[in-house]
Amino acid sequence: MQKTSLITQFKNDFPASVVVFFVALPLCLGVALASGAPLFSGVIAGIVGGILVGALSGSKIGVSGPAAGLAAIVLSAISTLGGFENFLVAVVLAGIFQIVLGFLKAGVIGYYFPSSVIKGMLTAIGIIIVLKQIPHFFGYDTDYQGDLAFMEADGENTFTAIFNTINHIRPGSALIGIIGLAVLIFWDKVLSKKGRFFQLVQGPLVAVVLGIVFFILTKDHPVLQITGNHLVQVPVSEDLQAFLGVFTKPNFGAIMDSEIWIVAFTIALVASLETLLSVEATDKLDPGKNVTPTNRELFAQGAGNIVSGMIGGLPITQVIVRSSANIQSGGSSKLSTIMHGILLLLCVLIIPTVLNMIPLSVLAAVLLVVGYKLAQPGTFLKMYKLGRKQFVPFMITVIGIVFTDLLVGIGMGLFAGIIVILFKSYKNSHFLHKEGEDIDDGVIKMALAEEVTFFNKGAILMELENLPDDSQLVLDVRNTVYLDHDIVEILDDFTVKAKERNISIKLVSESGEFLNLKSYLEFFEGNKAYKSG
């Protein structure tokens, strides 16, 4: 029974692993290029992220590898630390820090990001993927594949790169890109529903094979030929010994350098945050609604970074682009993640020259489909219908990520979410619980909320100031179990002002009787419920 189950799982996950492989390959190389690191270091990180982190992680569909969000940190660190070997020491230390964070149960941080912000992150990444791949789709490959930042390393930004594409269209790249995209759409919408064969053989694999055939047939054509940086560029080793020679060992002789420890802590912090954000987003996309154990994920990422650093790889995080491609392709267990890592290893070892025949425009077509599925237009309407409390943080996150980068955009969305919560808290402290006003007899009845904190300070002050002179305030505290000290002080001060304005105050307690407000506040100061707060 177990054997049959494994075979069934393999049939489901292998096609997904092939798609993830084709998505991951150019991203691994692109991130390494942007980081100023050896190209093969990105592939190493992809292999370790797939095989080791995939095996240790509790996520069924999350995929790990080198992340564009760390490229700027890596680029700067390699220079300031005196070389790539010294930088690898920081990667190993970062992994140790992440394991410590896992033991300290810091993974709980991931649960404090609002759903609206996570959905905004997914939508924004989808939009960025589409916008960033348009130049590659037409053969304008000045920026590296996998870049998510608005400002690009070559001085352009996301939109100027698209506008400049018009003057740099390569006919061969554009033609095979269009053919590849047509195959992907037709395969997904029509053929995948025609039989098991079209589900096992994924559209991206067919598109890539067509791209290789197109390259071979047009390599001598004066107009349609695709050369140089318009193709995948995997380092080619002549034999196994040369292949093993590309692995780099860290220089532990520099471990006492304080700068290395600072970089290590920075990498651990940023990589952990990006991983936890990706975990939250991936769990939301997961059709099986599995919940990833976040502390275990930090441990897995830490182990991955230790190994990656030991053999010459870049830092690793869980990455939403690869994870979403996995989900969209039907991956349902960690087997697809592990197999994508094995495919990376085998292909760069055995057939690197074949990989170097793949046009980047075909892989851009694959990413265009992934991006569109992440950022479908219906998402905006759905979030709008949920109301401003959800829509505002969602939109701010989308705009922030598209026009800055992932972490800045997330920070903006989180800040907007906090502001919304504070505003709701401000409104809900008491006057939304007001039972009614009777201006004719000068009696104003008001009920306080269950919990009243310093967030409600401004609202309560305003309400008390607006009470008319010569009136009576009936304050209902029967449902109140927590009063912040700030609120106690406000009410205490008001008892003095109330005498000057001829405002009488009566208080309704749990017993329903009217008590003196002053004595009640003194009682509440010493009350167990207050102290426990």
Residue-wise pLDDT tens digits, 13-25: 999 999 999 999 9
Integer Cα distance of 180 and 173 in angstroms: 10
Query: What is residue 427's predicted lDDT score, i.e. its pLDDT?
Result: 57
Judged by average pLDDT, the poorest of 265-269, 302-306, 399-403, 473-477 is: 473-477
Query: What is residue 531's predicted lDDT score, i.e. its pLDDT?
Result: 40
Helix (H, G, I), strand (E, B) or coil at 218: helix
Work out the pLDDT band at 517, boundaries 50, 70, 90.
low
424-439 pLDDT, tens digit per residue, is 665 555 443 444 455 4
Judged by average pLDDT, the poorest of 184-188, 211-215, 374-378, 455-459 is: 455-459
Does 355 score more than 60 pLDDT?
yes
Helix (H, G, I), strand (E, B) or coil at 461: helix
Does 4 score more than 70 pLDDT?
no
Does 124 score more than 50 pLDDT?
yes
* Extents of the domains making up the chain: 2-402, 431-532
- What lies within 8 Å, CB to CB, of 477 at 6+ separation is 447, 448, 507, 508, 509, 520
Integer Cα distance of 144 and 152 in angstroms: 9
Query: What is residue 421's predicted lDDT score, i.e. its pLDDT?
Result: 74
Integer Cα distance of 36 and 38 in angstroms: 7
Query: What is residue 441's predicted lDDT score, i.e. its pLDDT?
Result: 57
Does 443 score more than 70 pLDDT?
yes
Q: Work out the percent of the chain whose per-residue pLDDT is above 70.
A: 91
Q: How many distinct helices (H) and strands (E) make up the chain?
A: 24, 9
Query: What is residue 532's predicted lDDT score, i.e. its pLDDT?
Result: 39
The pTM of this model reads 0.82
Question: Is domain 431-532 given the CATH code 3.40.640.10 in the classification?
Answer: no
Query: What is residue 445's predicted lDDT score, i.e. its pLDDT?
Result: 81
Does 530 score more than 70 pLDDT?
no
341-351 pLDDT, tens digit per residue, is 999 999 999 99
Work out the pLDDT band at 199, boundaries 50, 70, 90.
confident
Mean pLDDT, all residues of the chain: 88
459-468 pLDDT, tens digit per residue, is 788 888 888 8
259-306 pLDDT, tens digit per residue, is 999 999 999 999 999 999 999 999 989 988 888 999 999 999 999 999
Query: What is residue 527's predicted lDDT score, i.e. its pLDDT?
Result: 55
- What lies within 8 Å, CB to CB, of 132 at 6+ separation is 143, 145, 147, 148, 158, 161
Does 188 score more than 80 pLDDT?
yes
157-168 pLDDT, tens digit per residue, is 999 999 999 999
The better pLDDT of the pair 94, 9 is held by 94
The better pLDDT of the pair 195, 163 is held by 163
Does 522 score more than 70 pLDDT?
no
Cβ distance 405 to 69 under 8 Å?
yes
Work out the pLDDT band at 104, boundaries 50, 70, 90.
very high
Integer Cα distance of 298 and 276 in angstroms: 8
Amino acid at 227: T
Query: What is residue 112's predicted lDDT score, i.e. its pLDDT?
Result: 81
Cβ distance 180 to 210 under 8 Å?
yes
Instruction: Show the DSSP H helices in 351-434 as ranges.
Output: 352-355, 360-374, 378-385, 388-403, 406-428
Query: What is residue 363's predicted lDDT score, i.e. its pLDDT?
Result: 96
Q: Is 416 exposed, middle or buried (0-12, 13-18, 19+ CB in 10 A)?
A: buried
DSSP state of 83: S
Q: Work out the percent of the chain whose per-residue pLDDT is above 90.
A: 62
Does 497 score more than 50 pLDDT?
yes
Query: What is residue 462's predicted lDDT score, i.e. its pLDDT?
Result: 80
Query: What is residue 347's predicted lDDT score, i.e. its pLDDT?
Result: 94
The pair of three-digit structure tokens given for residue 403, joined into one six-digit string: 């026009």
Does 44 score more than 80 pLDDT?
yes
Work out the pLDDT band at 458, boundaries 50, 70, 90.
confident
Query: What is residue 490's predicted lDDT score, i.e. its pLDDT?
Result: 82
Does 403 score more than 80 pLDDT?
yes
Q: b/e string for 230-259 if b means 16 or more Cβ within 10 A?
A: bbbbbbebeeeeebeebebebbeebeebee
Q: Which pairs from 391-397 meet CB under 8 Å and 24+ separation?
A: 391/116, 392/416, 392/420, 393/114, 393/116, 393/117, 393/120, 393/417, 393/420, 394/116, 394/117, 394/119, 394/120, 394/123, 395/120, 396/120, 397/116, 397/117, 397/120, 397/121, 397/124
Query: What are residue 504's DSSP bridge partners?
Result: 472
Residue corresponding to tokens 């972490």 = 407
